[in-house]
Every structure is written in structure tokens, then in C-alpha cells.
């Protein structure tokens, strides 16, 4: 069993097909002076050939290809035309007399070493793009361009194939999609590698960052990819194979059923329309949100743009960098609203891993507290978000508010950011709605303070449960006490939903419970009409909504809210699903 990074869900079972990198078979020799220019030309020709190849792949992209693919192929074309690839290796041939392959590999190794120094995970992973471009050129030079096995056999009894490679470029993945390939395993890559992103868009189980899978797995080995766990099982025992086949069949049945609901509006049996929104961490996640049929982004956790930025020349992403990311998300959502939460840094999401943490970080300088303590940083983010609001509907969501003065200070800073933008003639939505995360019990118990000052509320149950029950959400020793159905949590949830409804302001839940279909009816019965969750959960929750008659469940939910014994609550919530 090999452990890697889960990047694309589902189970794939098949025989391994190994893609050998050309780099492993490269000859190294010195070229005599009189042949140097001919060697330079050989490399130039190979680079041109790859350029043409990429243009062809780009031009012939099937209409249903994932939207990011064209952009990724453009990135590869850009790298190819950059002097670092198009010129430096030529210099190496001329000065050191290396043969073309050796010169190219030398340059790529040099670049790889430089990329390894980069702290930012996303940028560091771009090293793979350079490697993939180099690999294509090498394959042309060595005449070992990939020969693909035959297309998908119509005979379904034949085993399907799993591509095992040191690395796969997004353009190569596209070539595989119509063939009998059902999964990908690569040695390289991370959560943000382009291969991972494309695998997610293609909805193919994949596990990346497997270190040396491509040397441990042999051609034709039986391979199981458990994309949810990020594990790969090689040559499994028959009983394991059988178990996975059953699990896979079950998953496929469920997915097929759910897949049909993508375009179905989320309306309950009694005709109540429910808003199903997506939680995202990076603008790239918008594709998954749209694909799942989300009607907008209910929570863009902006801190992921900041984390891992430390150690670089600038410790924080600049206003322009942030603006680009927010704008990208808004444009990607094509007119659907995007709720951007301002920086929620601290506790389990430290800005700097090496930073000294407080004794109780979850109770420390986190989220809005941190932002108000760092006004320049906060203003930079506010300006970036405001500027993006000129490109589509944005809601501003503020985490961890508990005090009236925090709300007032935040609103004042938003006004200050607007004044600053007006001074430099930058456009923004002057009426951008501002809302609060309700995730501290004190906030849920003082809702009038919030309703009076803000436009909407979003309940962060992950933290609301943590703070209500005094259970550190990341401490496994008390994980058994972390109960979303604790009557105190339900009371706070209900109070917030009811207060919002009474005041006529929207209330969403964006914590994990919003994406748990087992709790959908409970939340509907409490009056919740906006759910924001991981895109992968949207369809399962929608199915639950379509089957629910709110009038029917309301009385049962009212009784649950008057129950204080945990087992009775759990029982009653389960029985809700039978109504």
C-alpha cells in the first residue's frame, strides 16, 4: 500500500500502464566543435516541434474539455518560448559542448533546484510544469514520443488501465481521457499541481505525490486507487479487490443518480427554493462549484491565498495579486454571487508555521482580531476585494466578530478602503453587502447588534461548535465530544436562523454540517434556506432537499429543539429522514 495525496475522489481499479520518462534514457556525450551548430539546430527543431504539437492540442481541444486545460497548455507554450528553455540550453551546447538532451536536462535540473527554494507551495509546484515541457522536448529528441495503447476496448471484460508515471502533463492527460484509462498515479505533484486540477475536473480518481510509485509498480500489476484516502494498493489480495469492487459499484450507482440532478433547481416538495452554494479555497475551485450546479460561492476562504506566502520577498500577497485572485473567482462564477471572507488567519491556520503561538490559539489573535491589529494588511485586502466587485457581485464576509465595536471598526475600515480607491479612481461596487460569520456563541446571543449593522449572516458551525462546547476542533483527544447535535448548538443555530428571518436578512450555514445530507432536513426544519458546502456535497444535499416536504418535518424539528437528551436528539434526527 502506497500513501500519497488525495487529489481526485473515487475508486479506480485496473492494470498498471507505466509511462517511462524520456529523461531516464538520455545519453550524455560531448559534441565536437564542428558539429556544435548542428546540435543547436537539433534542439531548436525539437522545441519548434513541441510548440507545434501544443498548438495542435490547444486547437483541437474537445468542447467538453475542462476549462482550465487551454490555460495550462498556454502556460506550457509560454515556458517553451521563455529564454530559460528556448535559449539557455543552446548556450550550454555552445559553451560546454554538451549534446542537446544533456544540455536541456542540465538547464531543467538547474531550474528545479531554484524552484525548490520557493516557499509558496503553488509556485513551487510550477517546477513540474517546466519538467513536463522539458520531457516533451526530450521525447522528440530521443524519438520516444509516447505511443498510446489502443483506444478503450469495447469488450468490458478486459481490465481497464491505470496510468502510472513519474509525472504527467495536462496535455498528455487529455490524450488519455478517451482511452481505457480510469485513473492516474504519479510520483510528483501536490494538491495544486495542474495534473491534480485536471484530474479533478475530469473526475478521474488520482493519487499524486507518491514519491517512487513509478519504480515500485510494474507494468500490468493490479492497482487500486482509493482517491478519497490518497492510497494506492498494488497487487491486492482477492478479498481486498472484491471489497473495493463492491464499494466502487456502489459509488458509481450513487453518482449516476446524483449526476442527473445538476441542473435541477433545489426546490423542496412544498415549493420552497433553497440556495445551494459552494465553499472554495482558491479561485480554481470555481470550476467544481459550477460543475456541481452551485448557484454561487457562499464562502471563499481567502486565507489560503496568504498561507505559504511567508519566506518570500514579500510576506503577504500584494493588493494586485489578491485582486487578480478575487477577480478570477468572480469572473469564473459568471454573474453568480461570490462571498469572500476576509482573512481568517490564526489558530489552526497560522500565517507563518514558525510563528510563536499563543497558549490557546483558537482563543487568541485570530481572524478579524488579527486584521484589526494589522490595519494596513486589512486595508490592502479590503481594497483588493472592493476592486474585484467591479467585475461581478461580491459579498464581504467578516469572520469571528463578537463585539459591537469590532463591527463598527470593520465597517469604518471598509469605508476608508472605499475612500482610498476613489482617490485613485478605481471602480468598485459602492453598495457591496457586508455580513458577519456567526461562529462565537457571544455573537449568536447578541444578534440585534449584528442585524442592525450588517446585510447578512453566515453561521460558521465548525467554530460555533468548538466555542460552544469548549472542544478544540483539531484536538483528536476530545474529538468524540465535538457534537453538532448538542442541544446548545442547536439552540444557537435556531436563534440565528429565526432572528435573520424575522429581520428579513439572509442567513446561511457555511460550516461542515451544511454539506451533511443527514442533517439537511433538520436545518430545513429550522428555517435555513441557504447552505454553503464543499462542491462535492452539493448534489447529495440537493437530493435530500428535493425529497423534503418542509411542512411535514417542521413539527418534528420543533420537538427536537425542545429535547435536551443527546441520544433522543440523534434518534429523532435520524427519523426525520424517514418522513
Binding residue for ligand PEP, selected from 446, 462, 483, 498, defined by CB under 6 A: 462
Q: How far is the CB of 511 from Mg ion (least distance, A)?
A: 7
Asked whether the beta carbons of 231 and 27 are under 8 A apart, the reply is no
Single out the segment in contact with Mg ion by CB under 5 A; choices: 137-145, 170-178, 444-452, 463-471.
463-471
How far is 96 from 28, CA to CA, in rounded Å? 12
Buried b (16+ CB within 10 A) or exposed e, 468-504: bbebbbeeeeeeeebebbbbebbbbbbebbebbeeee
Q: Which is closer to ligand PEP, CB of 14 or CB of 484?
A: 484
Q: How far is the CB of 464 from ligand PEP (least distance, A)?
A: 7
Q: What is the DSSP string of 221-259?
A: -EEEEETTTTEEEES--HHHHHHHHHHHHHHHHHHHHHH
Asked whether the beta carbons of 343 and 381 are under 8 A apart, the reply is yes
Binding residue for ligand PEP, selected from 6, 10, 441, 460, defined by CB under 6 A: 460
Q: Does 170 bind Mg ion (CB under 5 A)?
A: no
Binding residue for ligand PEP, selected from 186, 325, 461, 543, defined by CB under 6 A: 461
Residue 159 DSSP symbol: P
Query: In three state form, how does the secondary structure of 319-385 look?
Result: HHHHHHHHHHHHHHCCCCCEEEECCCCECCECCCCCCCCCCCHHHCCCHHHHHHHCHHHHHHHHHHH
Does residue 527 come out as left (phi exceeding 0), alpha (psi in the -120 to 50 range) or beta? Answer: left
266 binds, among Mg ion, ligand PEP, none (CB under 5 to 8 A by kind): none
Total residues at interface with Mg ion (CB under 5 A): 3
Q: Does 516 bind ligand PEP (CB under 6 A)?
A: no
How far is 348 from 346, CA to CA, in rounded Å? 6
Q: Does 435 bind Mg ion (CB under 5 A)?
A: no
Single out the segment in contact with ligand PEP by CB under 6 A; choices: 59-67, 262-270, 454-462, 541-549.
454-462
461 binds, among ligand PEP, Mg ion, none (CB under 5 to 8 A by kind): ligand PEP
Collect all residues with Cβ–Cβ distance below 8 Å to 165 and sequence separation of at least 6: 18, 19, 21, 184, 185, 186, 187, 214
Alpha-carbon dihedral sign for residues 133, 134, 140, 142? negative
Single out the segment in contact with ligand PEP by CB under 6 A; choices: 232-240, 461-469, 553-561, 564-572.
461-469
Q: How far is the CB of 513 from Mg ion (least distance, A)?
A: 12
Q: Which is closer to Mg ion, CB of 170 or CB of 460?
A: 460
Binding residue for ligand PEP, selected from 510, 522, 533, 539, defined by CB under 6 A: 510
CA distances from 445 to 233, 271, 492 (A): 50, 32, 7
Q: Which is closer to ligand PEP, CB of 42 or CB of 309?
A: 309
Total residues at interface with ligand PEP (CB under 6 A): 10
Nearest in space to 12 (alpha carbons), one of 227, 221, 157: 227
Single out the segment in contact with ligand PEP by CB under 6 A; choices: 16-24, 205-213, 227-235, 460-468.
460-468
Q: How far is the CB of 310 from ligand PEP (least distance, A)?
A: 19
Q: Does 463 bind ligand PEP (CB under 6 A)?
A: yes
How far is 161 from 179, CA to CA, in rounded Å? 9
Residue 300 DSSP symbol: E
Asked whether the beta carbons of 530 and 508 are under 8 A apart, the reply is yes
Q: Which is closer to ligand PEP, CB of 340 or CB of 510?
A: 510
Asked whether the beta carbons of 164 and 19 are under 8 A apart, the reply is yes
Nearest in space to 531 (alpha carbons), one of 327, 342, 339, 349: 339
Q: How far is the CB of 208 from ligand PEP (least distance, A)?
A: 25
Q: How far is the CB of 515 from ligand PEP (least distance, A)?
A: 10
498 binds, among ligand PEP, Mg ion, none (CB under 5 to 8 A by kind): none
Residue 31 DSSP symbol: P
Which helix (H) or strand (E) segment holds residue 276: the answer is: strand 275-280
510 binds, among Mg ion, ligand PEP, none (CB under 5 to 8 A by kind): ligand PEP
Collect all residues with Cβ–Cβ distance below 8 Å to 476 and sequence separation of at least 6: none
Spell out, one character per residue from 334 to 353, where the chain touches ligand PEP: x when CB under 6 A holds, - when not: ----------x---------
Binding residue for ligand PEP, selected from 42, 166, 301, 309, defined by CB under 6 A: 301
Q: How far is the CB of 378 from Mg ion (least distance, A)?
A: 17
- 261-300: contacts with ligand PEP (CB under 6 A): 299
Buried b (16+ CB within 10 A) or exposed e, 144-176: eeeeeeeeeeeeeeeebbbbbbbbbbbbbbbeb
Q: Does 463 bind Mg ion (CB under 5 A)?
A: yes
Q: How far is the CB of 439 from ligand PEP (least distance, A)?
A: 5
169 binds, among ligand PEP, Mg ion, none (CB under 5 to 8 A by kind): none
129 binds, among ligand PEP, Mg ion, none (CB under 5 to 8 A by kind): none
Grid coordinates representing 83?
A: 529564454
Question: Is residue 371 flagged as an active site residue?
Answer: no
301 binds, among Mg ion, ligand PEP, none (CB under 5 to 8 A by kind): ligand PEP
Q: How far is the CB of 334 from ligand PEP (least distance, A)?
A: 24
Q: Does 460 bind Mg ion (CB under 5 A)?
A: yes
**Which position among 194, 309, 486, 534 bears the catalytic label?**
194
Q: Which is closer to ligand PEP, CB of 129 or CB of 285?
A: 285
381 binds, among Mg ion, ligand PEP, none (CB under 5 to 8 A by kind): none
Question: Is residue 510 flagged as an active site residue?
Answer: yes
Q: How far is the CB of 338 from ligand PEP (least distance, A)?
A: 15
Q: Does 439 bind ligand PEP (CB under 6 A)?
A: yes
Q: Which is closer to ligand PEP, CB of 108 or CB of 508?
A: 508
Asked whether the beta carbons of 193 and 128 are under 8 A apart, the reply is yes
CA distances from 130 to 75, 124, 125 (A): 10, 11, 10
> Which stretches of the chain bind ligand PEP, using CB under 6 A?
299, 301, 344, 439, 460-463, 510-511
Just list the catalytic residues. 194, 510
> Which stretches of the chain bind Mg ion, using CB under 5 A?
439, 460, 463
Amino acid at each position: 500500500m502506497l500513501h500519497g495525496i488525495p487529489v481526485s475522489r473515487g475508486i479506480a481499479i485496473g492494470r498498471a500502464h507505466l509511462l517511462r520518462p524520456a529523461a531516464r534514457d538520455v545519453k550524455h556525450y560531448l559534441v565536437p566543435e564542428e558539429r556544435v551548430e548542428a546540435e543547436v539546430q537539433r534542439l531548436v527543431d525539437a522545441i519548434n516541434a513541441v510548440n507545434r504539437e501544443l498548438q495542435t492540442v490547444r486547437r483541437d481541444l474537445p468542447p467538453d474539455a475542462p476549462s482550465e486545460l487551454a490555460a495550462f497548455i498556454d502556460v506550457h507554450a509560454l515556458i517553451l518560448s521563455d529564454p530559460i528553455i528556448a535559449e539557455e540550453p543552446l548556450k550550454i551546447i555552445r559553451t560546454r559542448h554538451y549534446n542537446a538532451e544533456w544540455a536541456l536536462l542540465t538547464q531543467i535540473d538547474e531550474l528545479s533546484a531554484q524552484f525548490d527554494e520557493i516557499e509558496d507551495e503553488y509556485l513551487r509546484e510550477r517546477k513540474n510544469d517546466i519538467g513536463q515541457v522539458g520531457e516533451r522536448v526530450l521525447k522528440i529528441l530521443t524519438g520516444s514520443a509516447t505511443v498510446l495503447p489502443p483506444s478503450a476496448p469495447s469488450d468490458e471484460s478486459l481490465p481497464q488501465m491505470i496510468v502510472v508515471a513519474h509525472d504527467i502533463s495536462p496535455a498528455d492527460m487529455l490524450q488519455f481521457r478517451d482511452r481505457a484509462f480510469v485513473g492516474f498515479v504519479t510520483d510528483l505533484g501536490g494538491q495544486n499541481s495542474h495534473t491534480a486540477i485536471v484530474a479533478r475536473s475530469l473526475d478521474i480518481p488520482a493519487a499524486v505525490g507518491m514519491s517512487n510509485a513509478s519504480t515500485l509498480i510494474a507494468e500490468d500489476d493490479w492497482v487500486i486507487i482509493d482517491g478519497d484516502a490518497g492510497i494506492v494498493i498494488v497487487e491486492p489480495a482477492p478479498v481486498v479487490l472484491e471489497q473495493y469492487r463492491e464499494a466502487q459499484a456502489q459509488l458509481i450507482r450513487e453518482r449516476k443518480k446524483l449526476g442527473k440532478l445538476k441542473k435541477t433547481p433545489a426546490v423542496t416538495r412544498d415549493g420552497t427554493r433553497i440556495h445551494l452554494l459552494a465553499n472554495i479555497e482558491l479561485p480554481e475551485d470555481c470550476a467544481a462549484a459550477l460543475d456541481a450546479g452551485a448557484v454561487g460561492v457562499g464562502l471563499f476562504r481567502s486565507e489560503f491565498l496568504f498561507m505559504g506566502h511567508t519566506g518570500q520577498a514579500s510576506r503577504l500577497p500584494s493588493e494586485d495579486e489578491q485582486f487578480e485572485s478575487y477577480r478570477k473567482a468572480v469572473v469564473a462564477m459568471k454573474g453568480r454571487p461570490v462571498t469572500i471572507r476576509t482573512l481568517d488567519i490564526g489558530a489552526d491556520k497560522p500565517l507563518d508555521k514558525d510563528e510563536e503561538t499563543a497558549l490557546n490559539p483558537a482563543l487568541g489573535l485570530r481572524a478579524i482580531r488579527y486584521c484589526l491589529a494589522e490595519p494596513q494588511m486589512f486595508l490592502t485586502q479590503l481594497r483588493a476585494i472592493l476592486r474585484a466587485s467591479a467585475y461581478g457581485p461580491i459579498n464581504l464576509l467578516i469572520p469571528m466578530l463578537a463585539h459591537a465595536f469590532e463591527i463598527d471598526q470593520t465597517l469604518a475600515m471598509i469605508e476608508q478602503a472605499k475612500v482610498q480607491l476613489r482617490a485613485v479612481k478605481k471602480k468598485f461596487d459602492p453598495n457591496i453587502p457586508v455580513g458577519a460569520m456567526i461562529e462565537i456563541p457571544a455573537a449568536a446571543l447578541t444578534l440585534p447588534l449584528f442585524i442592525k449593522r450588517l446585510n447578512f449572516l453566515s453561521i460558521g458551525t465548525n467554530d460555533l461548535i468548538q466555542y460552544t462546547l469548549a472542544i478544540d476542533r483539531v484536538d483528536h483527544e476530545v474529538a468524540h465530544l465535538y457534537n453538532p447535535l448538542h442541544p446548545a448548538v442547536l439552540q444557537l443555530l435556531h436563534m440565528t436562523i429565526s432572528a435573520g428571518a424575522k429581520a428579513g436578512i439572509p442567513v446561511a450555514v457555511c460550516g461542515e454540517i451544511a454539506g451533511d445530507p443527514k442533517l439537511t432536513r433538520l436545518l430545513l426544519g429550522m428555517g435555513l434556506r441557504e447552505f454553503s458546502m464543499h462542491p462535492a456535497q452539493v448534489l447529495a444535499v440537493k437530493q435530500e432537499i428535493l425529497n423534503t416536504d418542509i411542512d411535514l418535518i417542521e413539527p418534528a424539528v420543533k420537538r427536537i429543539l425542545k429535547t435536551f437528551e443527546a441520544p433522543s436528539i440523534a434518534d429523532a434526527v435520524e427519523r426525520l429522514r424517514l418522513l
